[in-house]
Amino acid sequence: MLLAERVVYCTDNCGEAVFDKLLCAELRRRGSHVTIVVKERPMLNDVTMQEAKSLHLDEAADAVYHAGGGAQLGLHPDVYPLEVVSAMRDATLIIAKGLANYESLTEYEGLPPVAYLMTVKCEPVARHVEAEKGDLIAVLRYQ
């Protein structure tokens, strides 16, 4: 079984959505089933269904859903809609973009492997991921 057989891709800010689309399209081209999860409502400049539709993120994914919970920092599995719960349960890899997603998802147990893509913005996180403040990192965590 490939680690990336069933990917749930959790977006962050709108400024990176074109990169997100390209990466998701490449994952699908290589055989992954890709589900993109956006925010229900924006917290700061997060990608929502409105941006997902205008950027045609559905062209790069098998499904696009919102994470529920309204406008919140990070991801909170306890408020996911049923389709997101199902996608997360079946995922072989979660890709979570952004520091807030890192800070929130690391509080949950029982998740599949999570690849965090983020900028390290504070010293406590820098110590936790063994990086320097300001580094752009990708880190894989098995929870």
Q: Is residue 57 within 8 Å of 33, Cβ to Cβ?
A: no
Tell whether 67 is covered by a domain: yes
pLDDT at residue 2, rounded to an integer: 66
Give me the domain span that covers residue 55: 6-141
Is the per-residue pLDDT at 61 higher than 70?
A: yes
User: Cβ neighbours of residue 133 under 8 Å, at least 6 residues apart?
Assistant: 120, 121, 122, 123, 126
Q: Is residue 114 within 8 Å of 74, Cβ to Cβ?
A: no
| Count of the separate structural domains present in the chain | 1
70 phi and psi angles, rounded to 5 deg: 70, -140
pLDDT at residue 42, rounded to an integer: 86
Tell whether 102 is covered by a domain: yes
* pLDDT tens profile 84-93: 999 999 999 9
Tell whether 1 is covered by a domain: no
The CATH number linked to 113 is 3.40.50.10880
Tell whether 99 is covered by a domain: yes
Is the per-residue pLDDT at 142 higher than 70?
A: yes
Tell whether 37 is covered by a domain: yes
* pLDDT tens profile 33-42: 999 999 999 8
CA distance 83 to 2: 22
Tell whether 76 is covered by a domain: yes
* pLDDT tens profile 11-33: 999 999 999 999 999 999 999 99
pLDDT at residue 44, rounded to an integer: 86
pLDDT at residue 120, rounded to an integer: 96
Region of 81 (left: φ > 0; alpha: ψ -120 to 50; beta: rest) is beta
Buried b / exposed e over 104-133, threshold 16 CB at 10 Å, is bbbeeeebbebbbbbebeeeebbeebebee
Task: Please give the mean pLDDT across all residues of the chain.
Answer: 94
Cβ neighbours, 10 Å, residue 24: 24
Tell whether 121 is covered by a domain: yes
